[in-house]
Structure 1
Amino acid sequence: MSVCGSSGVWQRATLRCIEIKPPINDLLIYNGECLQWKAEKYEEDTEVYKVTYTGSRDYQRSFHDRGKRFVSSRADLLELCLSLYPVTNYSISVTAMSAKFTATVTTNTSLPAPPAPVVYYEEFETRVPNLRLQRWPNSLDLISSYQVFVLPVEGIMMFDCSAPASLNSSSTSPSEYITAQLDMQNAGTQINFTLGDGSFYGGFYNSPLERGKDYYIILRFVSQWKTDSKSCCVLWAKVTGTSHILRVSSLSAAAFVGGITLVILGGYSISWCARRHKFSL
């Protein structure tokens, strides 16, 4: 309370300051697609929040993702997880309806491991085997491809799915090589690939296999955008020879460190996905 005397001088003055916080405070994103914010309101009041988001992609101009959610809550701390597409730039707004206040945050969703196709593992004696797989269209097809690797069976062999030797410029004579690269942008759901037909696929020569040698055929499916890359591998086929033991040792810093021993039996296929894995055959 303030009192002003007849002389025009303040006789008593009291000033109280109250901090006024915005109705939505500390808006943040965690786990790539979940929102969290603090609600500044009277404890018993129920507030309705409208959450809207829009997404676009630098590599796919025709892509647009839009969504809207409503949340009614008395809580002081709110969380909401959205279904966002990977490798997408999002702008997300949260509006407190009664207070008519909006807070906005932006995020770029991460690149996940590419989805694995259904591979039909087979063993062949012919030098021009026909390999089969089944896949489904994916929103990341524009930045994804399949790479077919040929590995001559020569004692103990190392195959690093995240960085095969034939992709390493410092390797002058890698034992494995890429015989084909198949872009997924225009690929169908059923893919049949003839190994060693002497054609070019994605700039790689699908050279005929040498007589008198045994081979493993590995399919590497990779998604890459800017400096980020994720890959998975699957043992697709074996050309001649008897069964071999596939020893797998994981050196992934992003996942775990460990070892697994797998044996190729009958028509089973072996697949692995990681940022950094090495395999010995």
Structure 2
Amino acid sequence: MIFLKWEEPQEPNGLITQYEISYQSIESSDPAVNVPGPRRTISKLRNETYHVFSNLHPGTTYLFSVRACTGKGFGQAALTEITTNISAPSFDYADMPSPLGESENTITVLLRPAQGRGAPISVYQVIVEEERPRRLRREPGSQDCFPVPLTFDAALARGLVHYFGAELAASSLPEAMPFTVGDNQTYRGFWNPPLEPRKAYLIYFQATSHLKGETRLNCIRIARKAACKESKRPLEVSQRSEEMGLILGICAGGLAVLILLLGAIIIIIRKGAGDVKGLTMG
């Protein structure tokens, strides 16, 4: 959107009846925009000295022309060039695909190229976030993605729950391709470590555009990896083994005590019987 305002000519050469504003695109960093574009013209009343232009292409330079009209015709036009800001890239993930594969330490997802809006895509990033309770988890939205690159080691040192698992050049993703999160490889300086089976993760895909000092990015969650239940079995088996060993030990100890008691009772009975026999004979 562009807000254009102009001043009334100092020497209008008569009473101004209207203003004529013309504009057309003359340059764009978006290859989908035709330049030079068609010339469009609008008219404004004599007391209207501003206009708001909407539905313009992002990252595009427009040439504006304003001239006043009197009873003697149009005067000299005033020209100016204005460039619109670039917009965040857009993704085509309307039909969210299921993971292509999953193991205890990895998950394979489908990466789809984004569409630049006013500027080409500069770089892609794959972000891995450990799933935590809601009060601890950040929820990226269209205005709150991951603007600061963060390696796994840096995130670990700072106690953060997310890190960049990979950075990919825009040219490396001309079409949709699979990518394995946790493959233990390094992508442009970002290590993609194996995932911990006992943790759950959220996987995000981010696209970034840079142009003339402007940066726009967009991210979308493309997968979730649940914690592996199988990883808890060794601990449970170990705990149960310890409990069973404790129970068996208690039983064995109780049995030994019982045997000793029975042996003592038998000795006492035999001794008592011998004393009674000796007394009878005497």
Fold in common (TM above 0.5): yes
Please, which of 90, 94, 109 is the counterpart of residue 66 of structure 2?
Answer: 94
Matched, 1:69 2:40: yes
1:69 to 1:185, Cα distance in 2 relative to 1, 3 A: farther
Q: 1:218 aligned to 204, 217, 226, which one? A: 204
Q: Distance in 2 between matches of 1:238 and 1:96?
A: 60
Q: Does 1:208 align with 2:194?
A: yes
TM-score by length of 2: 0.55
Q: Provide the rounded CA distance (Å) in 2 between the counterparts of 1:163 and 1:220.
A: 9
Letter paired with 1:214 = A
Aligned to 1:235: 221
Asked if 2 retains the 8 angstrom alpha-carbon contact of 1:137 and 1:189, the reply is no
Counterpart amino acid of 1:85?
A: H
Amino acid at match of 1:109: T
Q: Which runs of 5+ in 2 are unaligned?
A: 229-282
| Cα shift at 1:67 | 3.9
1:242-261, aligned counterparts within 5 Å? Answer: none
TM-score (norm 1): 0.55
1:103, distance to aligned residue in structure 2 (A) = 0.8
1:35 aligns with 2:35: no
Letter in 1 for 2:127: F
Cα separation, 2, equivalents of 1:134 and 1:143: 12
Deviations 1:156-191 (A, max 9, x none): 643362445827998634432111123335633434
Greater percentage in strand: 1
Q: Which residue of 2 aligns with 1:192?
A: 178
Q: Which has the larger radius of gyration?
A: 2
Residue 151 of structure 1 deviates from its aligned partner by 1.9
In the alignment, the residues of structure 2 paired with residue 128 and residue 158 of structure 1 have an alpha-carbon distance, to the nearest angstrom, of 21
* Mapped partners of 2:189, 2:60: distance in 1: 29
Aligned to 1:132: 110
Distance 1:39 1:212, change over 3 A: same
Letter of the 1:92 partner, please give it: F
2:84 pairs with 1:109: yes
Aligned length: 209
| Contact kept in structure 2, 1:165 and 1:176, CA below 8 Å | no
Percent of aligned positions that are identical: 22
Cα pair distance change 1:187/1:105, threshold 3 Å: same
SS in 1 for 2:87: coil
**Equivalent of 1:55 in 27, 33, 37:** 27
Paired AA for residue 71 in structure 1: I
Relative to structure 1, the CA distance from residue 236 to residue 164 in structure 2 (aligned partners, 3 Å threshold; closer, same or farther) is: farther
| Change in CA separation of 1:175 and 1:137 when aligned onto 2, cut-off 3 Å | closer
* Structure 2 partner of 1:178: 164
CA distance in 2, matches of 1:84, 1:72: 18
Conserved 8 A contact 1:214-1:238: yes
Residues 46 and 74, structure 1, Cα contact 8 Å, conserved in 2? yes
Matches of 2:137 and 2:36 in 1, distance apart? 42
Provide the C-alpha distance between the structure 2 equivalents of 1:227 and 1:44, rounded to a whole number of angstroms.
41
For 1:74 and 1:86, the matched residues in 2 are separated by 28
Distance, in Å, in 1 between the alignment partners of 2:28 and 2:47 is 32
Q: Which runs of 5+ in 1 are unaligned?
A: 1-31, 243-281
Q: 1:115 to 1:180 in 2, by over 3 A?
A: same
Write 1 or 2 for the structure with the bigger share of helix: 2
Q: 2: distance between equivalents of 1:182 and 1:209?
A: 20
- Measure the CA separation in 2 of the matches of 1:158 and 1:151: 9
The residue type equivalent to 1:130 in the other structure is T
Instruction: Name the stretch that deviates more: 216-225 or 42-51.
Output: 42-51
Once the two structures are TM-superposed, the CA of residue 39 in structure 1 deviates from its matched residue by 6.0
CA gap 1:162/1:210 in 2 versus in 1, 3 angstroms: closer
